[in-house]
Chain A
Amino acid sequence: MFNLSRKSREALTDMMLAGPATLAMGMLIFIPVIIVAFLSFTDYQMGAKTLRWVGVDNYATLISDPIGRRAIVNTLLYVAIVVPFSIALSLLVAIGLHGMADWSPSFSKALRAAYFLPVAATLVAMALAWQMLLHPSIGLINMALIHVGLPAPAWFSDRGLVMYTLALIGIWQSVGYNMVLFLAGLAVIPQHLYDAAEVDGAVTVWDRFWTVTWPMLGPTTLFVAVITATNAFRVFETVATLTRGGPAFASDTLVYALYREGFVYFKVSYASAITIVFFVFVCTLTIVQYRVLQKRVHYT
C-alpha cells in the first residue's frame, strides 16, 4: 500500500488507537472547560444575545455573597467528614471480611454483596429510603430514639445538623466501593510478611496492622482517598432529592449551587465561575495528595 517506514507505520497505528478518544476528550472536556472558564468572566445568561466582560466579578460575588460562601464551606465540611470516616470504616469492614473469608467464605461473600449494594443501586432511590428512615416523626430511627428516651432530631430540617446527615449518607454510600478496593489491596499482601511479623514478635492484631497491613495498603489507601475526595466534592444527588440545599441554604453545596444558578436561574456566567472554583478545588486536592503521598506509599 503506502511505502512507509516501519517506524512511521507504528506511529500511525498508535495514532489510530489513541486518536478518537483524544478527539472526544478534547471536544467534550477540554474545549467546554475553556468555554466555561471564558464565560465565568462575563455576564452571560442563558438565551442572551450579548455578553459583557466583567472580569472577576462572578468570583467576587461567590466569595463575598454569604450564600456562595456557604456552599464552599459546606462542601469542604462534607469532604472533611466523608473522606476520613469512609476510609476508616471501609478499611475496618474490608479487614473483617477478608479475615472472615478464612472461616466462612459464603458469609463473607454475602456481606460483601450487601456492602456493595449502595454502590450498585440508584442513589436517588436510596435517598428516598433514607428520607423515610430519618423522617422526624414516622422514621424508624427517630422512633427507636424516642423509644429509648433520646431526643429525636430533625435530621434534614435542623440547620446545624443537615450537613452531617448528608455526610452520613455519603459515608454509607461510599463505604461499599472503598471496601472492594481495600479487599483487592488486602488480597495481594503476601502471607509471608504476616508470618515474618509473627516471628518477629508482632503478636497483637494492632502490631500486625501497623507492621504489615497499613504500610502495604499505602498505594490502595492513596487511591481510595483521591477517589473518595473527588466523589465527595461532587455531592449532588442527595442534596437535590433530600434537601434542595435547604433549609435556607444550610445544605447548599458547590455542585448543587451551580445547578441552581445555571439551570434554574439561567445565570450561566455565575454557574461557570462556581464550576471553575469546583474544578480548581478538585485538581488541587488530587495533585497535593499525589505529590505528598506518592513518595511515601511506593517503597522502591
Chain B
Amino acid sequence: MDDYGSEDVMGFQAVSRRFGSTEILKDLTLSISDGAFTAILGPSGCGKSTTLRLMAGLDQPTEGSVTMFGRDVSEKRPAERNIAMVFQSYALYPHLSVAENIALPLLMRETSAFQRLPLISKFSTSSRSKRAGIFERVKAIAEMLDLGDLLHRKPGQLSGGQQQRVAVGRALVRDPTLFLLDEPLSNLDAKLRIQMRSELSALHRRTGRAFVYVTHDQTEAMGMADRILLMLDGRVIQDGTPRSLYEQPQNTKVAGFIGGHSMNFLVLQRGATSAGGLFAGLGLSCSDPSMEMTLGIRPEHLDLDPDGPLYGKVEHVEYLGGETMIELLLDRQIGLETGSKLRALVSSARVPFGLGDAINLGCKPELVHVFESGSGERIRTGIEKAA
C-alpha cells in the first residue's frame, strides 16, 4: 500500500469489539499515519463510530490492542492519549459560554482540582492569573475560527455552524496529537457543509496533525482525505487513496459504494470471452476462458458511440441539467444475460433521442472493471486490455 508517512500515530492490532453477542468489529488491524488526513468511510452500522471511540479511549477492545506510536494504550484514558474529539452532536456544555467551553480542556489540565472549585476559582489569585493566561489563548483560537464576537454567548444561542466551530475550537486549543472527528458536518445544511469542508481541510494543513474523520458521506471522504479506510460489517474492505478506491476498487462492494452514481454490473455468462461477444467488443481478452466474470462500468464512463459494443433501447431518461442519465435495456448478444440494464451519464447536449430509441454506447477498455462473479473480488491477472 502507499506510503503515507513515517510514523503511525495510532494502530489497531487484531481488534475485536463485541456488545453482548453482537460483534461490531471483527479482527480489525489498521494504522493511522502521523500528519495524514484519514477518513473512515462506511454506511451506518458498519462499526466506524465504534472504531473512533476505541481510538479515543472512550471504549475498550474486547480483544486485540490499540497502540499509539507503537506503545500499547488499550488501558489508557482519552486524556492520557492526548487526543481531541469533535462529536457529531458537538457535545458543548450548555451552561458554559463559548469561551468557557473552549477553555475547559486547558482548565482541566493546567489547574488543580482545588483551583477549579466553584468559589475558589473566583477568589484565589493563583487560579485567577492562570485563568487569565488560558483565556488569552482561548481568544486567539476564537479569533482564528471567527468566533471572536461570540465569546460570551451560550451554545444555545448559536447557529449550528457556530456551534460546530466552537467544538472545533475546543479540540484545537490544547494541541493534541490526534484529532478524531465523528461525522462533524452531518448536522449542517448543505451549503455550510461545503464551506466547513474546506475550513477543516485548511485546519488540517495548518496544524499538520493527524486527522481521523468518520463519515458516511463519500464526497466528504473523497474530497478531504489523503487516505480512506472503507468499512463494511466491522471490517476494512479497502484501504487506499480516494483515487485508488475509485479507480481500482478491490471488489464489487467497494465498487458499488464509491462513486457519485452507482456502478453498472453486467454478469457475464460462461464463454463470454469468445470472439464476437461483448467481452471482446469492449477491447478485453482473457487467458482463462473458464472464469465467471462480472463487468463493472461507471455510468460516467459510458459515452454515445455509433460503433459502441453496448446497444439497446432507451427505457428511461432523467434530465439532470448539464448531464442526462439514461437507462438502457441491452439487446441480446453473446455472453450477456438477457434483461441486462445499463445506466449511462451523458452530456445533455448530446441527447437527440427519446424513449424507445435504439442507441449504442462505448467505454474505454481501461475504465472497465472485471470482477470474479462468485467472490466479487477484482481480477488482476489474465485480463488483457487493448490500449
Contacts and interface: CB of A to CB of B under 8 A. Distances in A.
Nearest to B167: A196
A193 B88 CA distance: 11
B113 A204 contact: yes
Contacts of B276: none
A4 interface: no
A62 to B, nearest CB: 38
Contact of B78 (A198, A211, A212, A300): A198
A218 interface: yes
A300 B170 CA distance: 20
B297 to A, nearest CB: 43
B87 interface: yes
A53 to B, nearest CB: 52
Given A199-B84, A199-B85, A200-B108, A211 B79 contact: no
Interface string B88-126: 110111111000000011001100010010100000000
Interface in A193-217: 193, 195-204, 206-207, 210-212, 215-216
A210 B91 contact: no
Contact of B94 (A195, A202, A210, A299): A299
B77 interface: yes
Contacts of B204: none
Contacts of A204: 113
Interface in B160-175: 170
A299 B95 contact: yes
Given A200-B105, A203-B77, A190 B83 contact: no
Contacts of B45: none
Contacts of B94: 215-216, 299-300
Contacts of B83: 199
B156 interface: yes
Given A192-B91, A195-B58, A215-B95, A203 B156 contact: no
Interface of B: 53, 56, 58, 77-79, 83-85, 87-89, 91-96, 104-105, 108-109, 113, 116, 118, 154-157, 170
Interface of A: 190, 192-193, 195-204, 206-207, 210-212, 215-216, 218, 299-300
Q: Kindly list the 3 A-B residue pairs having the minimum CB-CB distance in the complex, ordered from nearest.
A: A201-B108, A300-B156, A196-B91
6 contacts: A197-B93, A198-B79, A199-B56, A200-B170, A201-B108, A203-B79
Given A195-B87, A203-B77, 20 more contacts: A190-B91, A193-B93, A195-B58, A198-B78, A199-B78, A199-B105, A200-B79, A200-B104, A201-B108, A203-B79, A203-B108, A206-B113, A207-B108, A207-B113, A210-B116, A210-B118, A211-B108, A216-B94, A216-B95, A300-B157
